[in-house]
Structure 1
Amino acid sequence: MQRNFGLKTITLSLVVASALLHASTQNVQSIQYDGMVHISEAVAKRLNEVKIGAPLDSADVDKTIKNFFDQGYFEDIWVEENEGKVTFHFKEKPIISKIELKGYKDNDEEAKKTLLQIEKGSLFDEKRLEAAKKRIIDALSQDGKIDSVVEIQSEKLDNGSMQVTFVVNEGEEIIIKKVHYAGVQAVDSDDFDSMIANKEHEFMGWMWGRNDGKMKLAELQYDPLRIRDFYMQRGYLDAKIDEPFVQVDFDHYEAEMSYNIFEGDVYRVSDILVFQDTKVIDDQALLDVITLEKNKPFNIKTFRDDADRIKTKIADLGYAYVQVQPDLKKDKDNKSVDVVYRIIPGKKVHIRNVVISGNNRTLDRVVRRELFLAPGDLYSVTNLKDSRNAIGRTGYFESNTIEEKRIDDETMDLIVQAKEAPTGNIQLGGGYGSFGGILLSVAVSDRNIFGSGINVGLNLERSQRTSNYSFNISNPRLNDSDFSGNFSIYKSATEYDSYTVDSTGLSFGTGHRFSRYVSGYVGYNYSKNNYSDVDTNSTNYDPRYYENYSKSSVSVSATFDNTDDYYVPREGMVASQSFELAGLGGDADFWKSRTSFAAYQGLQKLTDFDLILRYKARFNYASKNGYLPLGEKFYMGGIGSVRGYQAYSISPTDGYNSSGTPYRIGGTQSFSNNLEFSVPLVPEARMRATAFIDYGMIGESSMSEIKRGGYGIALEWFSPVGPLQLVFANPIGDEKDDDIAHFEFTIGQRF
């Protein structure tokens, strides 16, 4: 008997008919499989309806061949029978050895994987190819491209494998020239732009912050809901927005859109009620977290946020599976609404186990000590969020998640999944610094040596104007406690325009974490500082500025940090205050105050992409009790203060040196702040672009003596040698003696 199922038809020849007649009188003696690779014989036996010892039946053969075809591995299957010996012959589909995407996201490997979902080594399957083609066209439609064409080109290579190429001819984008809103009276329709995706084209729409008018087809169905949400945030509970009518001119690929809107009346909140199925907390405690107010217009966004706040309040008591069911009871006659929250707390949930995964290098205990939930603890959603943020603040991990695995109504496991970040490196290299010129460096550092959380660094750096040699070691959690400790020694020399200063010193200290956000530090510093190569021909030369001195000082500081990541925070703030007192031995006798503040806010919910807003500010003040050396005063310029100027170049001056360069003597008080907008540039490479504007003031007797600003862009990249920042800046308000720096870079700093 022979049967060919690959042609999707059933053909019986005289030979086949004869074989079947013969088979009907003879039982199956053996079954063999020829040409089968992707299915094991054990699996094949489970799929085979033909049984040894039973008569060969054509219906069993037919069903068996269908079972094999359903696996998707075979191009053709046929069966032969000879005196009870049954052989299944298979012709498997060829392997795809090369797959390409041309004409659309050619160099985007991540997009290629998402769209095609076909890897090298996959079987050549026309259904999978057609599915990939559909995904490409759908993606183009979401980008607003219509009339797109995707061709699948396949070629059989000499080795029998297949080369597949998806050739994409992107269609045209539809530009929305006009959007009409009928029925809008109580609000300004221009405000809809903050909510909807399909917006009217604006003049110079290609500029950042302007509407380019490109139609987003996938978002059309959601825009009416967004407009209705806009109304409901203002109390219009009866608002109705029809689906938009879109009229397209396919000759020019332009469109006009029209919305019919019924606004209705504004509803005010008449009462706010909470009902607990099982009372687990005083009702007033829940009412206290609600921000909706009686007799004020209803706001759907505040309504949702209040529901989340209630849920958090209950979940922090251990009720992990609490349900909050919000409801509205409208009074159309009085245009009022009762707000009702029904709460089903469920049972208290305890943590059964905490599993750490993904930490191939970092020790488990280093992760566990950052967690605010442990086995046996009651569940708390706030503690869960704070644990994620605390792990992120260590800087040891690129990302982390904590999965809540439900065991039963009263227990759950927490699965911490962390993706390690590179924390250690050995650098042999050079470069060009904006201040020191040509730079050669050797550095060995690791913020998480041997996965212990201990930071060790050895740095040997030499440039045309600077040399720095240092060793430091610090442990943020001594013996996994809330205490920290650090020690460092250093030797440096810096050649300025009018003098050179050599410094040798050491510092050590200890800190303590008082709460999950607040920590303190006490430290000691000793240094010897010697001046040489002093330009005595400077105008207003004063030898007091160049006295060699030693400094013995103690410092205390307090820091608040509730950010969610060490290098790229998207929420939270960092505030610190430190005081340094010098004069406990040594020549220097002064005190300093340093205040810093930074706030981070991710705007993805508002902008639909990973935009981060950053604000940073610093205020410094120094007062001499006896002797305040020149090198202990404050200077601005460069990364960390006002970009667009060379580091340490913004300062009060006192005359000029022999080459005509201003003699900078530093200030006793300074203030600088920065506003930054950071967006992803190449997400796959963890590269971001940041636009910034800086402004600062510095002076000797008043901060307003010198004022400077700067603006520009920066590239932030997690490079193989660590976080790298390239800054391209221009000054604002610069004057003739200012030292301008259009380019700077740093490695290893927090963005």
Structure 2
Amino acid sequence: MKKSLVFLLVCANFLFAARIESIRFEGLNQLSPLVAQEMSGLRIGDEITGANTDAAIKRLFDQGYFDDIYIDYSGGNVVIHVKEKPIIAKLDIEGVVTNDRKAMEQIIGLRPGQGYDKVALNRARERARQYYEVKGYFDTVVEVDEEPLNSDGSSLHLTTIVNRGENIIIDKVNMIGAKKLDYGDIQPAVANKQREVLGWMWGFNDGKLKTIDLPKDPDRIKNEYLKKGYLDANVSLPYLNADMKNYRAELTYYIEEGERYRVKDISIEAPDFLNLDKEKLIKKLKLDSGDRFNSDFLKRDITKLSNHVADMGYAYAEVEPHLSQDYENHTVDINYVVIPYKEIYVRKVTISGNEKTADSVVRREMYLTEGQLYNRTDLVDSRNALRRTGYFENVEIEETRVSQNEIDLNVKVTEAPTGSITGGIGYGSDDGLLLSASLSEKNIFGSGIGGHVSIEKSDDDLSGAIGLTNPRVFNSEYSLSGQIYARDWEWDDYEETAYGFSITAGRKLNRYTSAYLTYDIESSKIEGLDEFYKAAGYQNGKNIRSSLIPSIRFDNTDDYYIPRSGISASLALEYAGLGGDMEYLKGMGSFNWYFGLRDYIGYDAIFRYKSNIGYFFDDSELPVNKKFFLGGMKSIRGYDGRSIPQQQICLEGRGCKYIEIGGNKSFNNSFEISLPLIERINMRFVTFFDWGTIGDDSFDEVTRYSVGAGIEWTTPIGPLQLFWVNPLNDEEYDKTNNIEFTIGARF
């Protein structure tokens, strides 16, 4: 782009103080003369000088509409000659994948209707190259195809063609000087990894260079040494030797490892007014005297001490570790210096994001409210309690300091789809197609009250239930729920019907524990039993069961659907005999443990252990169909529900037949590993091993187990689980499935 200025009779201007009598534009097509004159800053009646004409040219150029400008002056008449930039009438961007298109449109920065600025486009080309280089693509080229749409070239069809470069592949990572650790030790921590043999396959390292992470990798390597106690380790900047002909490279680090250190003494330095029991706190720390030094353990101990002081009201307490190294003996003393600052009180608690859920439903789960002394454990427990309700997909509590001793809390929730559809499908050689479905809502009209309707259907079975639950009556510590249910079985050899009603009252004992008392009454009837079932202990006729069930439940998990920490456990005792025809006493228990591995392996893997146990203490008047059975999604996957155990009953002259006989003692447990699969849509991969045992005289009379894998996915209609299952020790008479499916269940 050029600019020129022609002054006619400049000297005369100064001698005679010439004034502007008229202003005219030549070459102006896109802008109106009045708008252009306003942009120039020149006015009729102004004196014309070299300064104001130069300023006018600069102002017009700054608008970005012109390629060239110069000014003529004669006899008080000013003529401004302009050459307008071509206008972009149409713009296309080619060669860009869908995921990059939005970013590339912003980088190029051109829009139809704008003037075509080649200088700006050249800058955009450089930004596009840098954008792809950060993503690991090198030698990106951006070309522009200009197609005039009219004879004077003032209107253009512009096509920007992006030729994305190539990935540089790291064939090898060299660690020169490393003897104590090798590449396998640091590989999980670094972003730039060497390509593996199956690098093209998902789950294997593809070796692509990530330039944005390259400066950070030396610190990641050093941290791996610090985890193992090498306090004197030094790692050089990365040296990349790349061949741009074939885009292959080697990455080299020069490393000084030093010696490994042990912890000698641990001490805590804190103001006296905190009254810290330092010896007790030191015993609770992960690092102990004599241990190998570990930087990860050090960070956890700092967090533990910081949380302890924060629980005393010092929200902004800092803990600084002072390390004193003995270079000769390779030991280190750790002195944790606690700086508490001021006590902090909660001034205000606000709630946001709850478009449906009432504020009171959120506030009743908060253990930290207005006027209270800050307590970090209460803050974390409040967040986890909200997550356990199942009403929210995400809960965060933001802290805003408003003065030296006050803080505001903003509870930010993202509401989850609390209405869910649960479904299951399977096939059994006897029952044919098995279908189940339910419709439930955990948070009716945002009140926190839940309800459900469920139905199950197979070739032989039809059952349903309707229930309502208020977990916090009038936002108190008390709960109330009730259910009406009915079942109708049409077995090959007999018919069974049952209907009943239950009501449960409960109370929270503390933030993790609740106690319940349930009354359940049921009328059941069996007709048409053949001799095989009678021989197995089944009885024709009508029975009424009236039972009382006290129970207690503990739950300190950090989320309802995908917990990563905590325990969920329950214990119940059922006494049947408050009237009715049955009398028995049975105990039931469950224990679920969730353990997130991110802090240990840097990856969002979750280990789960789930177990259930049942035991009849007195079964003197217990019908067979009321015993314990195993099989199904909640016990041993891959086996039909209530199909374990079975017993062969043989009658003289009638042959033999397998009958589900149940057991007085049962135990089943599952071991699961859950891994992120597609994080942006909350889809995870899970693999599991199920094992269960059941019997009358002992637990281990019949044992079944299975393995499987599948996906769990938090969908808009609720959590979905789809598993492929392989029963490992099934007998020919067992009823099995290879596919298990459900929507709505807790993971």
TM range (shorter): 0.7 to 0.9
In structure 1, C-alpha distance between the alignment counterparts of 2:518 and 2:95, rounded to whole Å: 59
Which residue pairs with 1:457 in the alignment?
452
The residue type equivalent to 2:611 in the other structure is A
In structure 2, C-alpha distance between the alignment counterparts of 1:161 and 1:571, rounded to whole Å: 61
Change over 3 Å in CA distance of 1:709–1:514 after alignment to 2: same
Change over 3 Å in CA distance of 1:275–1:118 after alignment to 2: same
Q: CA deviation at 1:477?
A: 1.0
Which structure has the greater CA radius of gyration?
2
TM-score, reference length from structure 2: 0.82
Is 1:746 the equivalent of 2:739?
no
Which residue pairs with 1:309 in the alignment?
304
In structure 2, C-alpha distance between the alignment counterparts of 1:723 and 1:53, rounded to whole Å: 77
Change over 3 Å in CA distance of 1:333–1:543 after alignment to 2: closer
SS in 2 for 1:314: helix
The residue type equivalent to 2:732 in the other structure is K
Map 1:672-751 → 2, pairs under 5 A: 672-751=668-747
The answer as to whether partners of 2:536 and 2:661 remain within 8 angstroms in 1 is no
In structure 2, C-alpha distance between the alignment counterparts of 1:711 and 1:16, rounded to whole Å: 97
Change over 3 Å in CA distance of 1:545–1:135 after alignment to 2: farther
Which residue pairs with 1:630 in the alignment?
624
The residue type equivalent to 1:726 in the other structure is L
The answer as to whether partners of 2:134 and 2:210 remain within 8 angstroms in 1 is no
Change over 3 Å in CA distance of 1:341–1:695 after alignment to 2: same
Change over 3 Å in CA distance of 1:243–1:506 after alignment to 2: same
- Which stretch shows the higher mean deviation, 222-231 or 88-97? 88-97
Change over 3 Å in CA distance of 1:189–1:715 after alignment to 2: closer
Is 1:405 the equivalent of 2:400?
yes
Among 335, 348, 355, the alignment partner of 1:360 is 355
Change over 3 Å in CA distance of 1:669–1:430 after alignment to 2: closer
- Which stretch shows the higher mean deviation, 182-191 or 577-586? 182-191
Among 223, 226, 238, the alignment partner of 2:220 is 226
Which residue pairs with 1:381 in the alignment?
376
Change over 3 Å in CA distance of 1:136–1:260 after alignment to 2: closer
The residue type equivalent to 1:271 in the other structure is D
Change over 3 Å in CA distance of 1:386–1:626 after alignment to 2: same
In structure 2, C-alpha distance between the alignment counterparts of 1:708 and 1:702, rounded to whole Å: 15
Which residue pairs with 2:464 in the alignment?
469
Q: CA deviation at 1:580?
A: 1.5
Among 492, 514, 519, the alignment partner of 2:487 is 492
The residue type equivalent to 1:668 in the other structure is N
SS in 2 for 1:541: helix
The residue type equivalent to 2:331 in the other structure is S
Change over 3 Å in CA distance of 1:441–1:157 after alignment to 2: farther
In structure 2, C-alpha distance between the alignment counterparts of 1:274 and 1:474, rounded to whole Å: 50
- Which stretch shows the higher mean deviation, 325-334 or 490-499? 490-499
Map 1:61-460 → 2, pairs under 5 A: 61-62=56-57, 64-65=59-60, 68-69=63-64, 102-103=96-97, 106=98, 126=121, 130=125, 133-134=128-129, 136-138=131-133, 140-141=135-136, 169=164, 171-172=166-167, 174=169, 176=171, 181-186=175-180, 190-198=184-192, 218-243=212-237, 259-276=253-270, 279-282=273-276, 284=278, 286-424=281-419, 432-434=425-427, 444-459=439-454
Which residue pairs with 1:3 in the alignment?
none
Q: CA deviation at 1:679?
A: 2.7
The residue type equivalent to 2:396 in the other structure is T
SS in 2 for 1:616: strand
The residue type equivalent to 1:600 in the other structure is Y
Identity of aligned residues (%): 36
Q: CA deviation at 1:78?
A: 8.4
In structure 1, C-alpha distance between the alignment counterparts of 2:695 and 2:55, rounded to whole Å: 95
Is 1:562 the equivalent of 2:551?
no
Q: CA deviation at 1:618?
A: 1.8
Is 1:9 the equivalent of 2:5?
no
The residue type equivalent to 1:597 in the other structure is F
Count of aligned pairs between the two proteins = 719
In structure 2, C-alpha distance between the alignment counterparts of 1:620 and 1:249, rounded to whole Å: 67
Change over 3 Å in CA distance of 1:304–1:558 after alignment to 2: same
Q: CA deviation at 1:221?
A: 4.0
SS in 2 for 1:294: coil
In structure 1, C-alpha distance between the alignment counterparts of 2:694 and 2:362, rounded to whole Å: 43
The residue type equivalent to 1:700 in the other structure is D
The answer as to whether partners of 1:34 and 1:87 remain within 8 angstroms in 2 is no
Change over 3 Å in CA distance of 1:431–1:186 after alignment to 2: closer
In structure 2, C-alpha distance between the alignment counterparts of 1:332 and 1:199, rounded to whole Å: 33
- Which stretch shows the higher mean deviation, 299-308 or 480-489? 299-308
- Which stretch shows the higher mean deviation, 52-61 or 279-288? 52-61
Map 1:515-594 → 2, pairs under 5 A: 515-534=510-529, 536=530, 538=532, 541-542=535-536, 544-594=538-588
1:38-58, Cα deviation, whole Å (9 max, x unpaired) = xxx9xx99x997799976833
The answer as to whether partners of 1:115 and 1:135 remain within 8 angstroms in 2 is no
Q: CA deviation at 1:275?
A: 2.8
SS in 1 for 2:402: strand
Q: CA deviation at 1:470?
A: 2.1
Q: CA deviation at 1:89?
A: 12
The answer as to whether partners of 1:440 and 1:462 remain within 8 angstroms in 2 is yes
Q: CA deviation at 1:671?
A: 1.9
- Which stretch shows the higher mean deviation, 517-526 or 179-188? 179-188
Is 1:667 the equivalent of 2:660?
no
The residue type equivalent to 2:735 in the other structure is D
Structure 2 regions of 5+ residues with no counterpart? Answer: 115-119
The residue type equivalent to 1:470 in the other structure is A
Alignment root-mean-square deviation, CA: 4.6
1:668-698, Cα deviation, whole Å (9 max, x unpaired) = 2222222222233333433322222222222
The answer as to whether partners of 1:482 and 1:512 remain within 8 angstroms in 2 is yes
Q: CA deviation at 1:455?
A: 0.2
Q: CA deviation at 1:473?
A: 0.7
Which residue pairs with 2:117 in the alignment?
none
The residue type equivalent to 1:346 in the other structure is Y
SS in 1 for 2:560: coil
Which residue pairs with 1:596 in the alignment?
590
The answer as to whether partners of 2:4 and 2:70 remain within 8 angstroms in 1 is no
In structure 1, C-alpha distance between the alignment counterparts of 2:599 and 2:360, rounded to whole Å: 35
The answer as to whether partners of 1:447 and 1:454 remain within 8 angstroms in 2 is yes
Change over 3 Å in CA distance of 1:282–1:116 after alignment to 2: farther
SS in 2 for 1:615: strand
The answer as to whether partners of 1:115 and 1:132 remain within 8 angstroms in 2 is no
In structure 2, C-alpha distance between the alignment counterparts of 1:83 and 1:363, rounded to whole Å: 74
SS in 1 for 2:379: helix
TM-score, reference length from structure 1: 0.82
In structure 2, C-alpha distance between the alignment counterparts of 1:95 and 1:614, rounded to whole Å: 60
The answer as to whether partners of 1:476 and 1:483 remain within 8 angstroms in 2 is yes
In structure 1, C-alpha distance between the alignment counterparts of 2:492 and 2:145, rounded to whole Å: 67
Q: CA deviation at 1:333?
A: 3.2
Change over 3 Å in CA distance of 1:115–1:28 after alignment to 2: same
In structure 2, C-alpha distance between the alignment counterparts of 1:227 and 1:10, rounded to whole Å: 56
Q: CA deviation at 1:505?
A: 0.7
Q: CA deviation at 1:479?
A: 0.8
Change over 3 Å in CA distance of 1:167–1:360 after alignment to 2: same
In structure 2, C-alpha distance between the alignment counterparts of 1:132 and 1:61, rounded to whole Å: 32
